[in-house]
């Protein structure tokens, strides 16, 4: 039997390292089982996860495992009595998180050892590459991708075959294939999980793309904040070189191609392909004017093709199973599957891969289990800072590029941040404008100045200083920035503002005209008082008030002086009798 521990970033953050130490400390030389490792299977809400295998068959999946569970796990494995771990075995309801998905890009994640080439090969790894190099022309590869309908999964949804074909047809002494792994959206971690959990699928997909466009060098631009992903990819590259899967005359053919990694410094704008190229060349990451497009003059002024991690992770599956099989999933406008990072006020957060055509309700309630704490669903932010907030009334929106765009949001790279009834939508818009204003490269006036002015107006509104005309001014600024910005960052930065005004205008009006935050999330618009009937005079609130705004005798109701109160919320946090009233 094998014990396999989930050691992706989410597992490690939940305590997988301590769990491994506890297991290793109890394993003896007489034990015949092995302790292995795998990446993130996507069920982040259940980490740490331990899988028990008999051969290649999964016998038990153990969830929310702690170091204290190590003795019971080892005893169950040694005796074969798996009832000893019933208390930490995954429930049938939680298993549905996976069984309701269709996994292609994530097909190996959490199932193989990401540091083992043998594991990847046993799962049909590099079979697609062998097929391509021995029996297909580059044009036939591009045609198969065209049949599949695969569109770029980085956000724009541009047809992959078209970009590949444009790069192939461009004249150049050297051509480059670049992977955009600069995943910068708040709440998004799809690309990180793929590289950490299945790095060889990225290498294989990129090799097929390089063969198709005629590239001899591949570059993975990955954010430096993903150290585990970089370590696993470096090991996978080393293994691939040793196995003649990278380098000269791959698999004994005339095709030669190498790969290297570039760690980016975390600038959100470098997710835009021309800014990424500038950064690769050692310059400040700022977008270029287009045309020329990267397929014509990209990295080092040579024809270059850029796709993101998820796009490449689909390629080997498509070549193994046929483009038509991929196209059979999804909708008329959006083919195949899409990976989402489901986060926020959701019961079951993690990675979800579903066929295009499912609805937001299918994902949030059918897979994610609904809203944490049984609260009401309010909105979901799609597409990160470049996306928009979709309200409860549109919960049955179909997930495809066209349908999401009609709501004012975008598919984006796959961030899906769920908000409940306690979320202030004006504050949410400000959060994303804080981000985009900070991340603007400053090259064009509309983005550099426009996002800053929008940020200032939103800040004024949430601080209770909004005034008549602010909503209209925001809308005017949004239009100007969208129309005038140079790159996608600026052109989409207004989306969170426009969608929250469109669907939650009443909250803006309450902030501006009533000086009230309906959700009571904005500190400046709160008024604190104490319920005399509930207050026991324990003095905890007074002792925790940094402004000394609370007074009263022991065992008698206390009061808050509104002139001194700084609305820090310390009194509410300290009170054990629910006596603090917020209005």
Residues 520, 583: Cα–Cα separation, whole Å: 7
With beta carbons less than 8 A apart as the criterion, state whether 180 and 154 touch. yes
Phi, psi of 502 (to 5 degrees): -65, -40
Adjacency order of strands within the sheet including 34-38: 34-38, 2-6, 50-54, 57-62
Residues 376, 423: Cα–Cα separation, whole Å: 10
∠ Cα 347 188 498 (to 5°): 90
Supply the DSSP string of 467-534, one letter for each residue: -TTHHHHHHHHHHHHHHH-SSHHHHHTTHHHHHHHHHHHHHHHIIIII---TTS--GGG--EEE-TTT
Sign of CA dihedral 390, 395, 396, 400: positive
pLDDT of 43 over the 80 cut? yes
Whole-structure pTM over 0.85, yes or no?
yes
Query: Residue 137 has what pLDDT?
Result: 97
pLDDT of 328 over the 90 cut? yes
Residues 88, 62: Cα–Cα separation, whole Å: 5
Read off the pLDDT of residues 329-357 as tens digits, 9 standing for 90 and up: 999 989 999 999 999 999 999 999 999 99
Adjacency order of strands within the sheet including 388-391: 350-355, 337-344, 415-420, 377-382, 388-391
Strand 176-181 to 50-54 pairing: unpaired
Phi, psi of 293 (to 5 degrees): -85, 160
Read off the pLDDT of residues 470-495 as tens digits, 9 standing for 90 and up: 999 999 999 999 999 999 889 999 99
SS3 215: coil
Closest CA to 37 of 216, 273, 207, 235: 235
Only one residue has tokens 């190996």, namely: 108
Query: Residue 155 has what pLDDT?
Result: 73
Query: Residue 503 has what pLDDT?
Result: 97
Read off the pLDDT of residues 59-80 as tens digits, 9 standing for 90 and up: 999 999 999 999 999 999 999 9
> What number of residues does the chain have?
583
pLDDT of 451 over the 90 cut? yes
Query: Residue 97 has what pLDDT?
Result: 97
SS3 443: coil
How high is the mean pLDDT of the chain? 95
> For the packed helices 199-213 and 190-197, what is the interaxial angle rounded to 10 degrees?
100
Give how far Cα 244 sits from Cα of 132, 224, 255, Å: 15, 28, 11
């Amino acid at each position: 039997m094998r014990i396999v521990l989930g050691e992706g970033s989410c597992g490690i953050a939940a305590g997988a390292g301590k769990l491994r130490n506890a297991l290793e400390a109890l394993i003896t030389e007489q034990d015949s089982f092995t302790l292995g490792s795998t990446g993130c299977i996507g069920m982040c809400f259940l980490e740490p996860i331990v899988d028990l295998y008999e051969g290649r068959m999964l016998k038990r999946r153990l969830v929310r495992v702690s170091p204290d569970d190590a003795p019971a796990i080892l005893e169950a494995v040694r005796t074969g009595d798996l009832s000893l771990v019933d208390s930490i075995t995954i429930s049938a309801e939680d298993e549905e998180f996976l069984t309701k998905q269709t996994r292609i890009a994530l097909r190996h994640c959490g199932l193989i050892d990401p540091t083992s080439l043998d594991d990847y090969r046993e799962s049909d790894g590099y079979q697609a590459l062998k097929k391509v190099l021995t029996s297909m022309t580059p044009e036939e590869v591009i045609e198969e991708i065209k049949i599949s309908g695969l569109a770029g999964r980085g956000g724009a949804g541009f047809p992959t075959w078209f970009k590949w074909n444009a790069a192939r047809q461009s004249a150049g002494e050297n051509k480059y294939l670049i992977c955009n792994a600069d995943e910068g959206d708040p709440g998004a971690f799809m690309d990180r999980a793929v590289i950490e959990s299945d790095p060889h699928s990225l290498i294989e997909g990129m090799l097929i793309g390089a063969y198709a466009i005629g590239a001899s060098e591949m570059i993975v631009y990955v954010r430096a904040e993903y150290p585990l992903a970089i370590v696993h990819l470096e090991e996978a590259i080393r293994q691939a070189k040793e196995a003649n899967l990278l380098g000269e005359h791959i698999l004994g053919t005339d095709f030669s191609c190498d790969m290297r990694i570039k760690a980016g410094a975390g600038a959100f704008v470098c997710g835009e392909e021309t800014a990424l190229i500038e950064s690769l060349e050692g310059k400040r990451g700022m977008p270029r004017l287009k045309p020329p497009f990267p397929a014509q003059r990209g990295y080092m002024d040579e024809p270059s093709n850029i796709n993101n991690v998820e796009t490449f992770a689909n390629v080997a599956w498509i070549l193994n199973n046929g483009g038509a099989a991929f196209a059979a999933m999804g909708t008329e406008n959006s083919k195949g599957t899409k990976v989402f990072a489901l986060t926020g006020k959701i019961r079951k957060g993690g990675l979800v891969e579903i066929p295009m055509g499912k609805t937001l309700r299918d994902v949030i309630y059918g897979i994610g289990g609904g809203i944490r704490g049984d609260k009401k669903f309010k909105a979901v932010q799609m597409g990160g800072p470049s996306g928009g907030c979709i309200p409860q009334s549109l919960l049955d929106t179909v997930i495809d590029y066209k349908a999401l765009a009609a709501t004012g949001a975008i598919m984006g790279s796959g961030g899906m941040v769920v908000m409940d009834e306690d979320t202030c939508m004006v504050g949410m818009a400000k959060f994303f404008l804080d981000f985009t204003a900070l991340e603007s490269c400053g090259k064009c006036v509309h983005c550099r100045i426009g996002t800053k002015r929008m940020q200032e107006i939103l800040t004024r509104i949430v601080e209770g200083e909004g005034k008549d005309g602010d909503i209209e001014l925001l809308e005017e600024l949004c239009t100007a920035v969208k129309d005038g910005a140079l790159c996608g960052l600026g052109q989409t930065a207004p989306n969170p503002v426009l969608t929250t005004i469109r669907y939650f205008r009443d909250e803006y009006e309450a902030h501006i005209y009533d000086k009230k935050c309906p959700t009571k999330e904005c500190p400046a618009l709160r008024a604190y008082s104490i319920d005399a009937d509930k207050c026991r005079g324990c003095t905890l609130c007074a002792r925790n008030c940094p402004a000394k705004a609370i007074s009263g005798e022991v065992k008698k109701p206390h009061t808050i002086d509104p002139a001194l109160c700084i609305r820090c919320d310390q009194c509410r946090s300290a009170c054990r009798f629910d006596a603090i009233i917020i209005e």
